[in-house]
Structure 1
């Protein structure tokens, strides 16, 4: 029996507990094994879960009993409000994309690829080797393992054109995930109350990191081909900002990809204003119809701060990323990272490096490209067939997501509730806007579990849309 079986037993026993008086005795383990046709290990696991939740208690040699409810004294934390004062910024809670949902739900909301899209054997073997190696017992350098720094520098350097100095390993800072890098960049290089230009819509985690740093967000509208360079220049001039955060390749949530010409134009605007471009290359390994060439490869004057993550492509359990920056900006980011985390686990760094340097990694990426293409196309076809009211502005050339514009007047909250009641979990588009949303949107993840359910999920979405107008 697996975890799902144990969870079902827990749910059934909870129903019984809710209707039983305190002190009531549950059936014996042997009786529960017969009732649920489960193994003794699975039943014991379910009972242990109920004990951890405080619902039952075991009495050795006697049995398991419904625990008497305790009336707890209400906690009073009012003193903390006076001690802490008003927050400088109102930081939202974690994104709805991080929700854990039932296994039988059709999950369109997540921001991570399904386990079957990961190089599982490579990852497990790499973790085993790392656990036996020196990095399991030693402290790595603050900026990262030298070999991993070299790998990140080499990856970017391979796309650097002639006449541009490629990055060196000493330009690389290894991070415990790109989210921490964004926090350091915004906090150390922008600062509290200062303006930050940011694409709209954009990655919710960047919005969260910026707000947590007290940065003032200035939205720059961005479409399937990126922002209008003239609008970007105007925003720099009007605000005096010195930084622009963007995702030139397979943007989250829109899937947009800038052309090479658009990238050159944006870089020119940034240079003209003596500013920084923060290039978030989170989906570098998720190309489908194109292969991304980072804008950072065309800059050796320190205007582009480049972030690349391995967390989604290697494993969510291996939170390893890197920022490549030059000059004083790099030193400020490193100082902030050192104060925050001191260093990144050497074991995780070694495992990540092991995975991406194995011959099988490139084979995996080629297979991944085809799998993402088939999933993307299946979801697009499902939406067009069963939810034709939805507008698909852009078929992404890579990444993990499909960005959908809903009909004007759609009650987004009602739509999401109705879909969830029918077992379909959506991610509403509002949290990807740094200011007011430009309309009703949803983001669907085509790399999630059970692609065979895409047609059913789209059918439920289309049906719910008919009853979701304001």
Structure 2
């Protein structure tokens, strides 16, 4: 049987579960095979899907039952993001994701992958080779090593459909990390006094970069499937902005990945308003069940300014990124980078290029995909078992983070303090909103150290949350 058969069984059983009492027993697998004229494998796949959604629980040797505790879908206040726009109050610059954690702590708060997920052998070998090369003592070109420019251009060109001119190495400017690139983009591209539009929630570093260069932010509500094109058009119209910062693949923090239709619609809006889209493809190397599809591959008229970093996937010690832009925008960004830092360390550029062009790099990425999937699924299962009141907004197809909604009665800041006293560090979701948060959220990183502790971490989150909800 195919996936359609499994989906049909899931749909029928979901309707039955909706009217069933908690704890009700589902028909046996044999009965379901006969009822739906499906194979046992297809029925088992449907039951696994229902389990992953938190609708049923399996008791080995007994049967499958409707979950006794089901998460109610929380109210959605995301529409208020567009109505209220950005707050004019001061922003807090101390970010939870940058805090160091003691070794004994279960760390869900960081935005970086654990050391065991990095290509350590490749990095050490590449740094040693670079140290023996001319890169250790020479000044590289201001735009970056030509070989590294070529690599960035070729990787993006591989996703460009036929009929669209691919980027060239001359379109690439190498950066000392993507945070530096965001500062340059927000400094160089908005018109004088014009704001930048941002998905809400979005990467805290982008919010901070805009604030530090004095560019106001207009939030555009964004959900599990990305921003609504109509809301984006309205924001362009009302604000006069010509710059939209977005993460089409595995967004931080939500994990959203735009569909092909959504990418086309958003690009059409940018064309309509003569605007730039800043595409932050930070998670390009972290696909799990899908592969990233850069929006920039669909654009050959200079609307998309593409930002790609190697810092998280290669090593946090190798802060190398690139921006790909066309036309006058590229020249303006290059001028800003030259004034800011003149050039990027040739040693680090050579090491980064060495890593990503070794045969072992692709083998590492294949292994990384499986490791991230195992960690993600374990954390999701642990939360559903030990903290069932948490609403998992989306099980991401890639990236490093799980974005979850808490019950309205839970204070995420207090929850963070309570959890930390018990050895678990979490990050309250407010830091990822350009204005007031649309509800109580957490961002939980499943790529951090000690994945064996995820179950205990989820148990502590559930216990601390229950203490708030019950008052005990």
TM-score, normalised by the number of residues in structure 1: 0.80
Distance in structure 2 (CA, Å) of the matches to 1:207 and 1:138: 35
Which whole-Å CA distance do the structure 2 matches of 1:251 and 1:224 have between them? Answer: 9
| Corresponding residue of 1:166 | 166
The alpha-carbon deviation at position 467 of structure 1 amounts to 2.0
Give the equivalent residue in structure 2 for 1:338.
338
Partner residue of 2:356?
356
Compare CA radii of gyration and give the structure with the larger one: 1
TM-superposed CA distance for 1:93, in Å, is 2.2
Q: Counterpart in 2 of 1:180?
A: 180
Gaps of 5+ in 1: 1-87
Contact 2:194/2:240 (<8 A) preserved:
no
Aligned partners of 2:311 and 2:319 also within 8 Å: yes
**Structure 2 unaligned residues grouped into runs of 5+:** 1-87
Range with greater deviation from structure 2 (202-211 or 182-191): 182-191
Deviation digits for residues 335-356 of structure 1 (CA, Å, limit 9, x no counterpart):
1111111100000000000000
The count of aligned residue pairs is 383
For 2:179 and 2:259, locate their aligned partners in 1 and report how far apart those are by CA, in whole Å: 26
Aligned-partner Cα distance in 2 for 1:198–1:93: 18
Give the aligned partner of residue 198 of structure 1: 198
Residue in structure 1 matched with residue 458 of structure 2 by the alignment: 458
Map residues 65-464 of structure 1 onto 2, 5 A cutoff: 90=90, 92-190=92-190, 193-464=193-464
Per-residue CA deviation, residues 28-77 of structure 1 (Å, 9 max, x unaligned), is xxxxxxxxxxxxxxxxxxxxxxxxxxxxxxxxxxxxxxxxxxxxxxxxxx
Distance in 2 between residues matched to 1:334 and 1:467, nearest whole Å = 53
Question: Is contact 1:199-1:227 (8 Å) kept?
Answer: yes
CA contact (8 A) 1:123 1:315 kept: yes
TM-aligned CA distance change 1:112 to 1:173, over 3 Å: same
Partner Cα distance (1:419, 1:92) in 2: 22
Q: Distance in 1 between matches of 2:279 and 2:303?
A: 10
- Partners of 1:118 and 1:380 lie apart in 2 by 23
Q: Deviations over 1:240-270 (max 9, x none)?
A: 1101100000000000000011000000000
Query: Deviation at 1:94?
Result: 3.9
- Return the alpha-carbon distance in structure 2 between the equivalents of residues 204 and 458 of structure 1: 24
In structure 1, C-alpha distance between the alignment counterparts of 2:367 and 2:413, rounded to whole Å? 37
Residues of 2 paired with 1:179 and 1:414: CA distance?
Answer: 30
On the 8 A contact 2:191/2:242 being kept in 1, the answer is no
Contact 1:428–1:443, Cα closer than 8 Å, also in 2 = yes
8 Å contact kept, 2:242–2:276: yes
Task: Please state how far the C-alpha of 1:89 moved relative to its aligned partner.
Answer: 9.2
Please give the alpha-carbon distance, in whole angstroms, between the structure 2 residues aligned to 1:412 and 1:234. Answer: 31
SS in 2 for 1:399: coil
Q: Hey, what's the Cα distance between the residues in 1 that align with 2:89 and 2:180?
A: 18
The two structures have a TM-score, normalised by structure 2, of: 0.80
In structure 2, C-alpha distance between the alignment counterparts of 1:188 and 1:267, rounded to whole Å: 21
| Counterpart for residue 468 of structure 2 | 468
Structure 1 residues 192 and 379, CA gap change in structure 2 (3 angstroms) = farther
Q: Distance in 2 between matches of 1:450 and 1:253?
A: 21
State the alpha-carbon separation in 1 of the partners of residues 89 and 163 from structure 2. Answer: 44
Residues 461 and 192 from structure 1, CA distance in 2 versus in 1: closer, same or farther, beyond 3 angstroms?
A: farther
Contact 1:89–1:211 (8 Å) recurs in 2? no
Partner of 1:51: none
For 1:228 and 1:267, how far apart are their aligned partners in 2? 12
The alpha carbon displacement at 1:193 in A equals 3.4
How far apart, CA to CA, are the structure 1 residues paired with 2:165 and 2:270?
19
CA distance, structure 1, for counterparts of residue 313 and residue 397 of structure 2: 17
Q: Deviations over 1:357-407 (max 9, x none)?
A: 000000000000000000000000000000001000100000000001000
Answer whether contact 1:401 1:444 (CA < 8 A) is retained: yes
Contact 1:318-1:348 within 8 A present in 2 as well: yes
Residue 192 of structure 1: how far off its partner (Å): 6.1
Task: Indicate the RMSD between aligned Cα atoms, in angstroms.
Answer: 1.2
**8 A contact 1:91–1:212 mirrored in 2:** no
Change (3 A) 1:94 1:334: farther
Distance, in Å, in 2 between the alignment partners of 1:90 and 1:282 is: 27
SS of 1:398's equivalent in the other structure is coil
- SS of residue in 1 equivalent to 2:467: coil
